[in-house]
Amino acid sequence: MNGLGGLNPSPNGVVIGLVQLQLPVVVTPDDLARQTARIVEMVGKARRNLAGMDLVVFPEYALHGLSMDVNPAIMCSVDGPEVAAFRQACIENRIWGCFSIMELNPGGMPWNTGLIIDDQGEIQLYYRKMHPWVPVEPWEPGDQGIPVITGPKGCKLALIICHDGMFPEMARECAYKGAEIMLRTAGYTAPIRDSWRFTNQANAFQNLMVTANVCMCGSDGTFDSMGEGMICNFDGSVIAHGTSGRPDEIITAEVRPDLVREAREGWGVENNIYQLFHRGYVAVKGGAQDCPYTFMQDMVAGTARLPWEDAVKVTDGTSCGFPEPTRTYSPDAKEAAE
């Protein structure tokens, strides 16, 4: 059930539009300004497309394209003109929006940053991609954690970016912090199509959580992004799916956070997000509430190590033309966040 793509929204529904944005080429500040204007135009299209749309979602790389260019001249800041234009577009069109920027980092490589802006133009969610798609992407690993906010119509909303969604721990963290809807923005190309689909569905089902996912679309003359706007219900079923590969198509559906809450409270069989922390509650009161997972224990202790660790061949970005890094990660280095 999706209210005919949101044409017939219910009082408890949240209508989401996923923009399969045409993949741009952005090399200069002028290119960046033109692409900013293009995204602003598409916010207007989304509003005209569906009067009841609550949230319009743009893919990762919507502003910068897939060049992986770290030129400071085309990097953005949260208080810069590009974000200001997005904020104004949300105000003028009375709509929430999810946007992507490559954020200047004075202390290192840029961050791959996602923003959710409300219909009053206020930034409600600020997220830095936790798992850059190595070895292809040069971005600094995110240092802000995964925020969950109160979104349109009171829904609990989270955002992860592209490769983040290949780690079940990311979706689990969103759900654990209360997210009823998880957005996943991406720039993926065709080789990832199958894994994109089944991880979007698995992330939904394993956490009793709606997932709304979208990639860039079309060709920039080198890369071919796949679109694949995909909204999955909390039972893992696909509510809406953009399979045409048509650039600038907006995939829409109504989702029901109230039914997510109902399932999380009322399901017995396959209430996995609860059962993870209450193993075997039929046999023992309250279930086992220990942490039997070695990888979790070792990660917290800082001793996590794979049995095949020494045999891993690709451990930096040199195979993709990036220099070998010399800095070590410091989670306390948050210059651009202050």
List the catalytic residue out of 76, 129, 156, 217: 129
Contacts 24+ apart (CB under 8 A), 38-42: 39/63, 39/85, 39/86, 39/89, 39/99, 40/85, 40/86, 40/88, 40/89, 42/248
Q: Which are the contacts of 226, defined by CB distance < 8 A and separation ≥ 6? A: 188, 189, 190, 192, 193, 196, 215, 217, 245
Among candidate residues 98, 285, 302, the one with its CA nearest the CA of residue 183: 98
Residue 129 annotated as catalytic: yes
Residue 76 annotated as catalytic: no
Residue 177 annotated as catalytic: no
- Percent of residues in the chain assigned helix, strand, coil, to nearest 5: 30, 25, 45
Cα–Cα distance measured from residue 234 to residue 180, given in angstroms and rounded to the nearest whole number: 9
Cα–Cα distance measured from residue 179 to residue 157, given in angstroms and rounded to the nearest whole number: 5
List the catalytic residue out of 162, 174, 215, 232: 162
The tokens 């399932």 sit on which residue?
263
* Lookup: tokens for 63: 């502003």
Cα–Cα distance measured from residue 7 to residue 191, given in angstroms and rounded to the nearest whole number: 33
* Lookup: tokens for 322: 């990036």
List the catalytic residue out of 60, 82, 103, 137: 60
Q: How many CA atoms lie within 13 A of 337 on its CB side?
A: 14
CA of 40: how far to CAs of 70, 72, 164, in Å?
A: 23, 23, 26
Q: Which residues are catalytic?
A: 60, 129, 162
